[in-house]
Amino acid sequence: PWLSDGEKQHLRRLEKKSARQRRTRHRGEPAWHRLARTYDQIARLRATAKRRAVDWQHQTTTELAGTFSVVVVEDLKVTNMVRSATGTVDNPGVNVAQKAGLNRSIAGEAWGRTVTLLEYKTSDRGGQVVKVPARGTSQTCHQCGHRDPAARDQIRYACANPACGWTGHADTNAAININNAVGMPVSGRGDLGTARSAKRQPPRAA
């Protein structure tokens, strides 16, 4: 959460305010001073959120690059993942509102920027970032290899194979699959998380 609850509410009020101000303006007219001021306030809040996100990404990637000689990530096609689902007039999309919300969430996390920062920082320290195909990593049990899309929900993974039955955090299962896909041991250079400044964390961040 790059903005606090109060900041989120303030941003929401400003967005509603700008919508009301736009409705009273005729097409082709220049933006009024009040509308321009509202736009400036919205831009400042969004810039604050971006600064906090970039700061967190720099701190996290610096720790990872300084701790591990090899960092393994999914080779995600982020541009394809955030494509619009509106479709066309002849072939309209489905669940458009939900897809739009997911796209905003992905864009706000800036996964591509995180990987870019990791790549140059690990390279500077003599390490490397390894990208593995993302297909099936979150749907496959790392213990027995059984794959079932229904085995995973947002948080938990429960293997559907009766002979296995492994349960745990879905991201932990996916991370183990990603690491196993590389087929190499990962060495560390120290303790992760010892150098981070708590004062520079975004509100309510872990």
Mean pLDDT within 101-119 = 79
Mean pLDDT within 99-107 = 71
Read off the pLDDT of residues 169-205 as tens digits, 9 standing for 90 and up.
988 888 888 888 886 554 445 444 444 444 444 444 4
**Contact assessment for residue 174 and residue 167, using Cβ atoms and an 8 Å cutoff:** no
What's the pTM? Answer: 0.66
Give CA angle at 201 (200, 206), nearest 5°. Answer: 155
Angstrom distances, CA of residue 56 to CA of 46, 89, 93, 134: 15, 41, 35, 24
Report the alpha-carbon distance of residue 70 to residue 74 in Å, rounded: 13
Tally the C-alpha atoms within 13 A of residue 28's C-alpha that lie toward its C-beta.
Answer: 0
Report the alpha-carbon distance of residue 131 to residue 111 in Å, rounded: 13
Check residue 137 and report its DSSP letter.
T
Instruction: Give the model's pLDDT for residue 92.
Output: 63
Instruction: Give the model's pLDDT for residue 200.
Output: 44
Read off the pLDDT of residues 23-65 as tens digits, 9 standing for 90 and up.
877 777 776 788 889 999 999 999 999 999 999 999 999 999 9
Report the alpha-carbon distance of residue 112 to residue 116 in Å, rounded: 6
Mean pLDDT within 111-137 = 87
Angstrom distances, CA of residue 84 to CA of 22, 77, 93, 110: 25, 14, 9, 17
Q: Of 184, 180, 82, which is closest to residue 133 (Cα–Cα)?
A: 180
Read off the pLDDT of residues 76-87 as tens digits, 9 standing for 90 and up.
777 766 776 666
Angstrom distances, CA of residue 85 to CA of 90, 111, 116, 202: 14, 20, 27, 31
| % the chain with pLDDT above 70 | 77
